Chains A and B, each alone.
Chain A
Amino acid sequence: MIKVDNLVKTFGPKRAVDGISFTVERGEVLGFLGPNGAGKSTTMRMVTGFIPPTAGRISVGGHDVVDQPIAAKRLIGYLPENAPAYADMTVLGFLSFAAEMRGLTGEARRKAVNRVVEMCFLESVVHQSVDTLSKGYRHRTCFAQSIIHDPPVLILDEPTDGLDPNQKHEVRTLIRRMGEKKAIVFSTHILEEVDAACTRAIIIDRGKIVANGTPEQLRSRSEQAGAVALRVAGIPAADVTAKLRELPTVRKSQVLAEAAGFATVRAYPNPDGRNGALQESLFELAVRQNWKLAELRTEEGRMDEVFRSITLPDTMPAANKTEESK
């Protein structure tokens, strides 16, 4: 549905978006990750036709956004950053306006408005003016506007920004549900959202795509992916790491905590320690040494660590510092 090819946007000397390409098909939810100012919003503004690209092509549903903007825009629902809405209108008036702009009139308009009011839980504020709404309600009002014509393509710029945890959860559920039939792109800097709602994620930094894959693939790029945490009672942590170092499956180890008689240590796998071999060898070690094992757990990769190590190449990734403890 969405096809972006080598997109570039320059603002003066700054290349805000520098050669981004991706495609999104129906049934996909693409998460856009990246630090502030990475070019997420600029990319979305170009895809929705708000700003023209400096170079590159964007097509939505087969229509080129630059050459056939109206046909492309008909297929898109868009929630801009900060969820703008006309302050002097009521929620009902605003949604009716949005419906009418999408070519819905009369009964069809009334139905569409009722549908989104229900979907976005706006019943209690429909007659309230937009400038008296709390941030959460205003956000949902603007979100309602973006889905009023049930578009096949949905572009959401930070859809959960400014919502409380319950509302965040509702919006994520809504996105995941709608993602079964639509092509959705949404940006966020909340990493857990990628797991909660995306089928695929792209990490953008300084206008370039630095990672692209399913949430699992991205997580497995983490240092911690496949590492094993081990909690032992009554033995100093230094003794534990000394023993761990002797194992062929362990590349390095790190003391996580040592308190109340318990030592918590994390072991990172060598190539031959992957796929459970590490955990097995650690268990055997514990049995041999007669350690009182309180916990033995293989860790999943952590999205925030992947994010940090990818988007901060100048500073040393946190994981590398653990080398010192070996």
Chain B
Amino acid sequence: MSNGETQVAQASGERGEHSMAFHNIKTIAKREISGYFASPVAYVFIVIFLLLTGFFTFMVGRFFDRGEASLAAFFLWHPWLYLFLVPSVGMRLWSEERRLGTIELLLTMPVSPWQAIVGKFLASWAFLALALVLTFPLVFTVNYLGDPDFGVILCGYIGSLFMAGAYLAVTCMTSALTRNQVVSFIISVVLCLFLILAGWPPVLEMLIKWADPGLVDTVAAFSVVTHFDSVQLGVLDSRDLIYFLSIMVFSLFTTGVIIRGHRAG
């Protein structure tokens, strides 16, 4: 047995199945993140994200006119901001693999498809988290101007991150559908828009005129806005987090089904 084979055998022998899975996910996630920073995409995205959050918070959200020490004006716009920004981060995840043909390399390596899906998803999610963390000067600003409730702010950040994760999982699913990034972007924007509109007050008001209140509640329960609003107000209800998590699990599971479908031909 040659040297390399011995090493591989040892490597797989020493680690259990679980730590092997963890190793694979970590390796795939690491590659994906370095992929973002190897091109200008990451920097362009972060700059645009920060500029837009600033614009919406201060200009459109009238942060200073509100006269309250909270980040409500900041979080208010996140469902809409993410509508375009998250699909632009996630659209390449699988479509690029299919376009380049590297999916054939990736899935013939000793990893299971779900490890690859989770690894890629976590990488993009971590990247979005980084962008979100870079909005920290806002926290300092409210702290300087007044006496904010840090619990509410933390809740807002957690809710925002989970919402980004839900959008991202939807994008992940659409990017597995096509080898064209633009198509993947458009489909995920439409799907995410639906998730917003289902709970957007103007739509609900329209529905309430003719629909049963129970039905209106059901529709609203499917919306990210309904769930994000309560989190953002400082109520970290497990049901809201479960809502976001179930969108992620469902979308990533569907991603797996789609990828298996492609391979089965």
Binding site for B on A (CB under 8 A): 9, 11, 45, 48-52, 69-71, 73-74, 76, 78, 80, 82, 84-89, 93, 97-98, 100-105, 108, 112, 115, 129, 142, 145, 148-152, 181
Contacts and interface: CB of A to CB of B under 8 A. Distances in A.
Given A76-B108, A86-B102, A101-B27, A52 B5 contact: no
Contacts, number: 106
B47 interface: no
Given A74-B12, A74-B110, A112-B7, 16 more contacts: A45-B104, A52-B263, A73-B108, A73-B110, A80-B101, A85-B102, A88-B38, A88-B39, A100-B27, A101-B27, A102-B8, A103-B11, A104-B8, A149-B4, A150-B3, A151-B5
Interface string B11-24: 11001000010011
Contacts of B23: 100, 103
23 contacts: A45-B104, A50-B107, A69-B112, A70-B111, A73-B108, A76-B108, A78-B108, A80-B105, A80-B108, A84-B100, A84-B104, A85-B100, A85-B102, A86-B35, A87-B100, A97-B31, A102-B110, A103-B7, A103-B110, A104-B7, A104-B8, A104-B11, A108-B7
B109 interface: yes
Interface centre among A45, A49, A52, A70 (most CB of B within 10 A): A70
Nearest to A148: B4
Interface string B76-110: 00000000000000000000000011101101111
B238 interface: no
Contacts of A51: 263-265
A70 B112 contact: yes
Contacts of B246: none
B141 interface: no
A80 B20 CA distance: 25
Contacts of B11: 103-105, 108
B34 interface: yes
B85 to A, nearest CB: 20
Given A88-B39, A89-B38, A104-B11, A150 B100 contact: no
Given A103-B23, A150-B2, A50 B104 contact: yes
A101 to B, nearest CB: 5
Contacts of A11: 265
Contacts of B15: 103
> By CB atoms of chain B within 10 A, which of A11, A73, A85, A101 has the most?
A101
Contacts of B107: 49-50
B5 A9 contact: no
B4 A101 contact: no
Contacts of B263: 50-52
Given A50-B107, A74-B110, A84-B100, A150 B38 contact: no
Nearest to B104: A80
Contacts of A88: 35, 38-39
Given A49-B108, A89-B38, A93-B34, A84 B101 contact: yes
A59 to B, nearest CB: 16
A265 B44 CA distance: 73
B181 to A, nearest CB: 13
A181 B110 CA distance: 22
A135 to B, nearest CB: 14
Contacts of A115: 4
Contacts of B104: 45, 50, 78, 80, 84
Which of A76, A112, A150 has most chain B Cβ within 10 Å? A150
A86 B104 CA distance: 11
A88 B96 CA distance: 11
Nearest to B15: A103
